[in-house]
Amino acid sequence: MVLVPGWVWQGGPVRRALGVGLCAGVLFGAFVAVESGSWAAAAVVVVVLGPLYGVRAARRMSRAWPGAAGLGPADRAEVVRATRRGEAVTDARLAPAVLQYAGALRAVREEDRLRGWVMVLVAVVAVALGVYDTAAGTAREALVSWLVVVLVALELTWAPRRRDRLGARVERAEGEARALLRPAP
């Protein structure tokens, strides 16, 4: 949820599930298409994993920020946009929603941080599979395995820095929202 772009929040839970699920399904389907050479298998992956991942992500997003349901699409998008950019919302009535969304991002980020050891394990397994597929597999299998290693390396190196920058912007947005909620002297 931390790296989910603002446009995903514009719709309701179904649109969020479709937005995230379609992206994930296409990514996983592309890996299957490259590795197996079968477009039918890739289509099955898109049709099966896309909705499963999309529903899971939409449910997690809804649980993390239940206040999103009470906002209209434009307001929800503005709250997400302003919070992720570290800016003030244009409408003071949205300030409490900024604080809620910022809290949700912080909570999800903390949950993800606690699960960081899983990515290290995935990295070890990905490198081992990359080496094995290079030695014993086909060129396609080796290509996909090393692409997975690159994606895991990005998750371990680039994503934390991006999350940290996002965290700093979220703190600025919280400060702006609190300033809007303070009574004028």
User: Do the Cβ atoms of 82 and 88 come closer than 8 Å?
Assistant: yes
Confidence of residue 2 (pLDDT cuts 50, 70, 90): low
Q: Which tokens sit at 8?
A: 């995903």
* Torsions phi, psi for 139 (to 5 deg): -60, -40
Return d(Cα 101, Cα 86) in angstroms, integer: 12
**pLDDT value of position 112:** 82
**pLDDT value of position 184:** 66
Return d(Cα 150, Cα 93) in angstroms, integer: 43
Return d(Cα 19, Cα 139) in angstroms, integer: 32
Q: Over the stretch 107-151, which tens digit does the pLDDT of each residue have?
A: 888 888 878 889 999 999 999 999 999 999 999 999 999 999 999
Q: What is the pTM of this model?
A: 0.82
- In the predicted model, what is the mean pLDDT of residues 86-113? 91
Q: Over the stretch 65-74, which tens digit does the pLDDT of each residue have?
A: 999 989 998 8
140: three-class secondary structure by DSSP = helix
Find, among 22, 46, 21, the residue nearest to 33 by Cα.
Answer: 46
User: Do the Cβ atoms of 125 and 149 come closer than 8 Å?
Assistant: no
* Torsions phi, psi for 38 (to 5 deg): -110, 115
The answer, yes or no, to whether residue 7 has pLDDT greater than 80, is: no
